Structure 1
Amino acid sequence: MALVLKRQIKGIPVLEVVAENARHEPLPLVVYYHGWRSAKELVLTQARKLAQAGMRVVLPDALNHGERLQPVSEIPSWTFWQSIQTNLAEFSLIIDYWQQLHLIKDDLIGVGGVSMGGMTTAALLTKHPEIKVAACIMGSPAPLTYARLVRDNVRQHGLQQPADLGLLTSWLTAYDLTQQPKALANRPVLFWHGTEDERIPYNQMADFERQIKGQSYAQNVTFMTGQGERHLVQPALMTTITDFFATHLKIKSE
């Protein structure tokens, strides 16, 4: 049975999901991020599967979401990027909390997420070599490309946005995985995207797959395409994600 425990880590509301009989034992740690206008509770099914496979899973509420819900800025996409940036800033606080408790087994740290959480995951890979395994689900490894697409769509719809929005979000350059693919560093990373995704274009994952194909630093990257799939995680995919983390975090099956 998986326990679901509410915690506050440096002001960050999180859920800890862990097998009841292993609650006080060091375990591989997976931080798993929810999507845009969602909340930590909506990735609980995935977390329970991971916990049942032997991991301690931490589900944070992103800024402006869940227990931290705030009105969305009238500036298009501003709240979205602010939420991701805060995820990036808070990641080390979450890891440090569990390290101080000596509950991370053998420094085995994983990170994953869906949609906005997938973008967070890909961005974290650029700066955190301590991450051993990752899964970017329905996210984009190319936030600069996605940001340009959003700005173009805003202009086409005649909505107002700051002329210097690109500069205001220039921090994206430092966290764009497509600009620094060697940061993959031969780590096991799973990318999944549906071909009919109506929110984040499939081609941003497909272009990255072509970019890094055959490179030595990308030998452990797995790309999976959901033919005809939209912006939705099906139960079978949750099992695939769980198996990926369990395999690469070296968790032996019972």
Structure 2
Amino acid sequence: MTLSADALTKRFADGTLAVDGVSFTVAAGECLAIIGESGCGKTTTLKMLNRLIEPTGGSIAFAGGNVTALRPEALRRRIGWVMQGDGLFPHMTVAENIAVTPRLLGWDKARIDARVDALIEQVRLSVAEHRGRYPAQLSGGQRQRVAIARALSVEPELLLLDEAFGALDPLTRGALQSDFTALRRELGFAAVLVTHDMAEALLIADRILVMKSGRVVRTGTPADLLQDPGDAYVEDLLAMPRQQARAIERLEAGHA
């Protein structure tokens, strides 16, 4: 098992209980989507997994050990992180951005260069065309591909993604979702994806965890949730992608 959270809890200094006893597991190679409305605790949960936010209760085990046994910096070098808006360093080239963590770990130049070039190709960019470019010279989709490559630079077992595709236009977003899924299956890493988009969760995730007011209200595969939402809130989250699918079917039927 790659990751497990047990009764994970976060109460902030102002007394706000943001996450209330959340438990889940993520197996090797699996993608878990955490979904819910704004303020439900999903991003706080994600940030506790790599100790960007420290939990006030519960435990997190990663790769066989408790994460509190590792220094936060060491933990974050073993878990890839991709955020909305890419978070690339604007003064660094594509190659330099991808190489940040390998350099911190003391990799030699030849190893770094080989890893950087391999990752650029794996995220479907051109080494010759993009290696020396700066983030400002890239499209939004290209920047997010570089952000994914950077997160994968030291071959982590686990990637954490916080609304990683949310700021992209629909065509770019769809292409990147498909490529991310293919890359995950090719490289075998696990992923925890925070999203507010149920359609994205249904299409990308192996399992979906639905949160409301800091608690888990439903966990299951996409098929599980579609067949039995089990909760009125989950039904509401499913309503929009279902309505859109039915509308498209009606349009297609009208042009048949």
- TM-score with structure 1 setting the length: 0.30
Q: Which has the bigger relative contact order, CA under 8 A and spacing at least 6?
A: 2
- TM-score with structure 2 setting the length: 0.30
